[in-house]
Structure 1
Amino acid sequence: MSVEKKKSSENGHLEQEHDDIKDQLKSSSQLDLDDNKGPIAYRMRPSLEDIFKAKTIKEIIQRVLTKTLQGKKYNVEDARKWTQEIADTISASVKDLNMPRYKHVVQISLGQQLGAGCRYIAKCSWDAECDSYTSDIFSNATLFCVCTVFGIYVY
C-alpha cells in the first residue's frame, strides 16, 4: 500500500471515529446536561439560582441557636451535647437546600460567658467569586455560641 493511500485510510478511520463520538454525545445528551444549563463538566461558576444561599442559611443558624440554647445555663457536659446537636441540625438543613456542587462546613464555638473577651478568626484560601460563608452569634448571661457555615463550590 502506498504512503498516500495509507494516510487517506487513516484519516478516513479518524473521521469515522470522530463522527461516532459526536453521535454518542448526541444520544447521551441527557446524561451530560444539567437542566439544560450546559454540560456539567464544564460549568466553572454557579448559576444565579445555584449560588450560596447566605441569607437563608443565616436564618437557619439563628433559629437553631435560639431553639437549642434559649434559657440554658452553661455546663461543660451539656455544652458538648449542644455543640454536636447544633452542628448536625444546621448541616442537615443546609444539605436540604440543594445547592448543586457546593460542599459545606459547619463550625461551632460554644463557651462560658465570664466577661472576658474572645477572639474568633477563620482563614481560608478560596475563590471569592463562588465560595462564601455566613455566621451568627447567640449569647445569654452564662454562655455564648458562634456558628459559621462555609460554602465551597466544587469545580
Structure 2
Amino acid sequence: MAEVKPVSKQVRIYQPTYRLDPKKRFDAEKIEKILKRVVDGELIEIEYSEKVVPDLCMNLAEMIRNAVKEENYDRYRIIVSVCIGQKRQQSVQIFHTFLWDHERDAFASYNYENPHIFANVVVYGVYLD
C-alpha cells in the first residue's frame, strides 16, 4: 500500500509596503546652481523700489519653486524664502528655524548683491512621510 504524505500548506508572509526614504534625495549642490542661475538672471539690473520689491520677491520665489519642482524630488515639500533689501551701509541678520530631520531634510541658500540691493534666497527640502 502507498504511503500518504501530509501536504504542508504554504504560508505567505507579506512585507510592509511603505517606504521610509525618497527615491531621489534632495541635492543641495544642484539646487544652489539653480538658485544662482535664476537669481542672477532676474536681479542683474534691479534697483530698490518699495513698490516693486514685494511683487519681485513673490515672482522670484515662484520661479525658483517651479525650477526646483522640475527636478522631481518625490516626498519633499519645497519651501522657498526670498528676502530683498536696499543696501544702505547696514547689517542684516536673517534667521530661520525648523524642526529638522538631519537624515532626510536639506536646504540650499544663495546670497546676491549688486550696488543697489542685496538678496538672500533659501530653499528647504523637508521630507514628508
Return the TM-score normalized by structure 2: 0.84
Q: Report if aligned partners of 1:133, 1:150 keep a CA contact under 8 Å in 2.
A: yes
Tell me how far apart the structure 2 counterparts of residues 92 and 110 of structure 1 sit (CA, whole Å): 19
Mapping of 1:74-85 within 5 angstroms? 74-85=48-59
**2:71 is equivalent to residue 114 of structure 1:** no
TM-fit CA distance, 1:43: 1.4
* Equivalent position amino acid for 1:116 in 2: Q
Equivalent residue number for residue 64 of structure 2: 90
SS of 1:117's partner is coil
Equivalent residue number for residue 65 of structure 1: 39
TM-fit CA distance, 1:106: 0.2
The runs of at least 4 aligned residues of structure 1 exceeding 2 Å deviation read none
Unaligned regions of 5+ residues in structure 1, if any?
Answer: 1-17, 26-37
TM-fit CA distance, 1:81: 2.0
Tell me: higher relative CO, structure 1 or 2? Use CA pairs within 8 A at least 6 residues apart. Answer: 2
SS of 2:41's partner is helix
Deviations 1:4-25 (A, max 9, x none): xxxxxxxxxxxxxx97xx8xx8
**2:11 is equivalent to residue 42 of structure 1:** no
Tell me how far apart the structure 2 counterparts of residues 62 and 77 of structure 1 sit (CA, whole Å): 24
Superposition CA RMSD, Å: 2.1
| Rg comparison, structure with higher value | 1
Q: Report if aligned partners of 1:107, 1:148 keep a CA contact under 8 Å in 2.
A: yes
Deviations 1:46-75 (A, max 9, x none): 35xx11021111111111111111021111
Tell me how far apart the structure 2 counterparts of residues 138 and 78 of structure 1 sit (CA, whole Å): 17
SS of 1:77's partner is coil
Identity of aligned residues (%): 27
Q: Considering fraction of residues, name the structure with more helix.
A: 1
Which of residues 55, 67, 70 in structure 1 aligns to 2:29? 55
SS of 2:51's partner is helix
* Equivalent position amino acid for 2:21 in 1: R
Tell me how far apart the structure 2 counterparts of residues 82 and 68 of structure 1 sit (CA, whole Å): 9
Return the TM-score normalized by structure 1: 0.71
Aligned residues: 120
